[in-house]
Structure formats: C-alpha cells, structure tokens
Structure 1
Amino acid sequence: MSMFSVETQLKYWFEVFAFHLDRVLGLNRSLPAVLRTFHNNILPYRYIDGNPRPVVWWDPDIQHLDDRDSDQNSVPLGWVQYQKLLRARCGNQTGLSTEPCVGVLHAEWGRLALFDFLLQVNDRLDRNCCGFTPDPTELCVENQLHSKCGNSKDLQLVHILVRKTNPSRLVFIDNSGRPQQSSDNLNFRLLEGIDEFPEKAISVLQSGCLEHLLLRSLYTDKEFWDSYGGHTGLRPLVHLVEKRGHYLLQHIRDKRLLLRRDL
C-alpha cells in the first residue's frame, strides 16, 4: 500500500469504525483506516480546518475496469448474474472462470453480506435501495435508482473489487454504512442468496464479546476514540451493531444456513 486518500466528507468517519469491525470479526478484507487532524499548510483549508478526517490507505494493486461508468468495479456484475453465481457455488461446484462465475470464491460473498448487513452498507449489493424504505433525500431516490427496483435486470452491483494479485478474494472499500438505520427498516436483501457465513465471525457475534473486543480495538486509534466520546460515545454504536448481529444470527437459524471454517 503506497499512497493514502483523505475523505472529503465527515460522514465517512464510519469507515474507521468499519475497519475495526472487519478486523475484530476476522474478515480482513477492508483497507486500513484511521482518523487524523491535519495541520500542514500545503493542504487546502478544508483539510486543516481543525476537524479530524478519515484517512484510508489505498492499495494500488486493486483492479479497476477501464469503463469510466464502472471503474469502481473489478468485474461488471448485475443482480441477476450475482444470484446465479451464488447458486453455482463458484470454486466449490463450478469453476471460477466458468459462467456465471467471475473469479471470486463462493465464501467471499458470505463475508461481504455479513459485513454489509452489520454496517447496513447498501451502496454495494443494493445501490438502488430496494431492500429497505429510503428517505426521499437519499441519492438512490434523487437519482431515480429506486424506481428501477421492479426490474432485476436493471440492478447493478458496485464496489465489487479484487486485487490483481489475488483475484479470488474481495476487497471491501467505501464501507461508510448507515449508523442511523433503524431496526425496523434493516436491509435483509443484502443476505439474499447467501447460503453460508464465516464461522469465525459468527462465533464472535455469538460469544457476547463483541463489545469488549471492538471497544478495545477502537481505543488504539486515540483520535477517533477521543473525537467520538470514548466508551460513553461509542458504546451505543457498538450495541447497535450487536443488535443487528442478533438479527443475523436469527436469520441463520431460521434458514438453517451453513458456517464455513476458514482454511
């Protein structure tokens, strides 16, 4: 990882929280992110106005499509093909390079779905906001994406990225998620078609230790910790993720889904 990017909007602070959640769950798919305050006058004023900003270390090995309209993907992938490749269990029952597969191992999609559900990231598997009721001010409504939900063939996935040197594993970027999403409006569409989840991550959710592990991890980024009120400020957010974890565990029990042990 040879360069970094500084997010321009403070709402992306959740990206830092997401990085710590990724590591605590043992997924290890997101890029390192920290919160920092900048003072160097060579930067534009908006970066040195005294507000801490997320910094995400970027990996130049990430593969992007040449198409400018889809350069945030490593592979072009729509909802219909995505559901087909989930049923094909790529790398298990079907070759990674055989249609409808796109070179990504089947187990990767369970990791992604789990991560996105806990954070309620929609701008990856559900950029059209089809799985929940969006606010009228949401970009998916303003850009008339939500109106396409009736036709699955029109639905495209975004931020589906891999490394050139390891194209069978996903890389999670743009993990800002939805910290304010209410429990009665959760996006269960993110779990559609997923038939297995990573055993290690599920064991953390089942253990009752997520709060301790996550707060301990967040404490290592002192600027983030202090900026968001330490234990007092961050505990409600951790409890929110824990509650979503309970919904996910119930979903797994109801559907009798498999847990996959990492090799």
Structure 2
Amino acid sequence: MKSIVGLLALAVGCGAAVKTVQLVVSGDDRTIRKRPPNIRPSSPGSTQIMFVAFDGVSRDQLYDLLRAGKLPNLRELLGGDNLAHAYLDDTFLSNLPSTTMPAWVSAQSGHGAAEHGVPGNEYFIRERLEFACPAPVSFNDAQPTLEIYTDDYLNKLVAVPSVYEQIHEHDPEALIWVGMNHFFRGTDKLVLASRIVIVKAIEGFVEKQLEKLAGDTSRRVYEDLDKAAIDAIASRLDDKVAIPDVITLYVSGADLYAHIAKEG
C-alpha cells in the first residue's frame, strides 16, 4: 500500500493530477457504447469468447508450462480434458519491435501498423505535425497514458475498426467487455481497477520505484496487479446481469516485472 501511495504522489507531482482525479472519481467502469434500443441484453445464440491477453509472456514457455500441467487453473479455463478443447496457435506474429501499443492494436484490429497507424509507443504524425505518445518512453509524464482511459487517447489514434466494432457491425446485440486494455473502441464496457490503471499509466515511475525493492517484494506487487485485474472482471460476472459474449482481459504483470527483474 505504501508503494501505491508513493506512486500516486508521483503522478500528481508530474502534472497529471487532474486526470488522476478524473479517473478515480469516474469509478471502475466506463460505458463505451450506448446499446441500441429494443435489443436483448446480450446475444445468447453467439459463441462466447474470452480473450486473455498476457503481455510480456513467452509463447513457447507458456505452452510448455500448460502441456506439462504446471498451470492447472489456466488449463481448466481452457476446457480441461488435457487441453483437448484448446487451440494453441503457433503462427501468430507480433510486430517488430514488439512494443506494447502497436502490438495490441494489431491483435485487436487484424491490421498491421502501416494500416492502423500506431507504429510505436511514441511516434510523429507528419501530416498533423503531432507527436503521439500513448506510452511515453523518452520523457516522464503520466498524463498521455492516463488519457487512454479518461479521454480515449489511443482509440482516437487508431485508423481502422477494432475487432469489437467489426463484431457489432454483424451482431449489434453482442455484449462486449474489455478489462484494462489500452484499445477498447467499440466495446460496451471498459472495466478498470483504479489503482492498477494509475500504476500502469506511470510505468516509468513504477520501474524507478521498484528498482529500490528486493526481488520478492517487487514481484509480489505485480502479482497483486494481475490479481486485481482478474478480480475486476470476475466480480462483475453475476447471475443478475447478462454474461458478456466477448471478454478481453489484459494481464500486464509479466511485462511490467520484466522491465525491472534481474533476469530481464
């Protein structure tokens, strides 16, 4: 908790106080799409999809651990039965270099950076004489990343439809939630865990802060972040509300930890 409080203070100190307050006051959910009138709360005839987006995880290592039975909970999530119902794809390629923003926009749009228009975490848009920085790396300022969640900053930079917009074009009844991911245009609901958003938004500050901590302590911080991201989705799945047809859950802990781990 002390680390979180310290990070909040850093966010305020770097000029992002207004955005931080806006994010906290707005709560943990944002309604992104106003559902058309006179439609069902979900699309019960569709195939339900859960997209778990692990950032910074080696695909080969993940598959090896799954096949060896060392990730029993994830195996159960994939249908159990010795992975008989799981499809482990070995062909999907990321962009090069595999930086966060262009990679996830590609994964959630089906287009490469040359088409979707987000080639890096920072880049210059020559036609508009604009420096775009959804994930600042050359300077320390939380505001651009906070604006991803408060003002749809990354959504506005992407030049192609998201997969969620494509789904809704074919099935307006589909109920779609996105948890913690940066690109969520066209979803019905963005599910946030406020403290996680703030930590993720000021990643540069987090790294500097956690470099001072010993191995297990810093790793535990990221374990807590991932658990909170999962709980934010799970706690909203209730018999009293419609179950989403599509859920995207962004799990960033491995990537964040890799930035400060001795092994990294």
Higher RCO, 1 vs 2 (CA within 8 Å, ≥6 residues apart): 2
* Bin of the TM-score, shorter chain as denominator length: under 0.3
TM-score, length-scaled by structure 2:
0.26
TM-score, length-scaled by structure 1:
0.26
